[in-house]
Amino acid sequence: MEFRTAGVIGAGAWGTALAQVAGWAGLDVLLQAREPEVVESIRARRINEAFLPDVVLDSRVSVTADLADLASCDLILAVPPAQHMRSTLAAFAPHHRPGVPVILCSKGIERGSLKLMTDVLAETIPAAPAAVLSGPSFAAEVARGLPSAVTLACADEALGEALMETLSAPAFRPYLASDLIGAEVGGAIKNVLAIACGISEGRGLGRSAHAALITRGFAELTRMGVALGGEAATVAGLCGLGDLVLTCSSPQSRNMSLGLALGQGQSVEQALAGKRSVAEGYESAPAVRELAQKMGVDMPISLAVAALLAGETTVQGMIDALLSRPLKAERH
């Protein structure tokens, strides 16, 4: 298999960073942006001023506003916000050529249907071979060429190996996996847990509490991944534990910064005001809670975050509820 051109759907920070990586990997890249100002900015200055300022894009990256222009691309990276994945893929479906792989790069669980992004792809473009790209990667760092490693999950081993080789760049290392569910669950749930870690940080609860949240959050993430049919070993890799540690450890994370603001006393509305980029944990939290209840999976931290975001409790009420849970043996 040989891939020479890549279409990237979604020109937010992560989509733009992935377009940069694909260009460095030697592909001719067409980045689709729905915002006219993004198209104009990239065409005029080679910079996505709205979402990734100060990063000059590789000469192999071009930009378009029209999804139809991606019809001739050899592979597609789908990077819209998770809650807009279905409508975006449905709009692209008439332009997709059967057999062209779609790599899902957005992290979340669809609200309402409670489906993962691979399910959404199967329903909107059933002729598309699926892959999932997920792992500890801040867009600004990746786009500047700082070292990063991610999981690339694909059920078709030969296709997965071809995609891995294709997207590998000097400082961007994909590691191949076959477990798409495990790769997706890690990326979706870690965003909700990062809000909890931000709250702890903003409230000044200390590093011990922070470490406990990451560790017990990872237990929640693993339980859900296995319950949905994923493998614990996948979740323990870059797409689960790795991404969780990164997202829960730096205010560069939109999700942790949201929690930080909440912990410092801002309301949800105040914390979200003026933010152009989506905090996926805020969008996914209701779906994570509903899915946990439906599957009977114990996820107290995730459910507490969802309750706070829904206005059903306060920050202090959330903390008190978690600390007053019955004592138990430590099991994953």
Sign of CA dihedral 206, 208, 211, 217: negative
Q: What is the dihedral of CA 254, 258, 259, 263, to 10 degrees?
A: 140
Complete DSSP assignment for 142-179? HHTT--EEEEEE-SSHHHHHHHHHHH-BTTEEEEEES-
- Backbone φ and ψ of 225, nearest 5°: -60, -45
Element (H, E) at 78: strand 75-78
- Backbone φ and ψ of 103, nearest 5°: -95, 120
Neighbours of 269 (CB within 10 A): 8
Find all residues with CB under 8 Å of 84, minimum gap 6, and list them.
none
User: How far is the C-alpha of 87 from the C-alpha of 10, rounded, in Å?
Assistant: 12
Which amino acid, residue 233?
A
- Among all residues, which ones are annotated catalytic? 190
Quick one: tokens of 178? Answer: 């076959």
User: How far is the C-alpha of 322 from the C-alpha of 332, rounded, in Å?
Assistant: 17
Contact (CB, 8 A) for 314 and 308: yes
User: How far is the C-alpha of 198 from the C-alpha of 207, rounded, in Å?
Assistant: 12
User: How far is the C-alpha of 279 from the C-alpha of 309, rounded, in Å?
Assistant: 12
Rg (CA), the chain: 19
Which amino acid, residue 274?
G
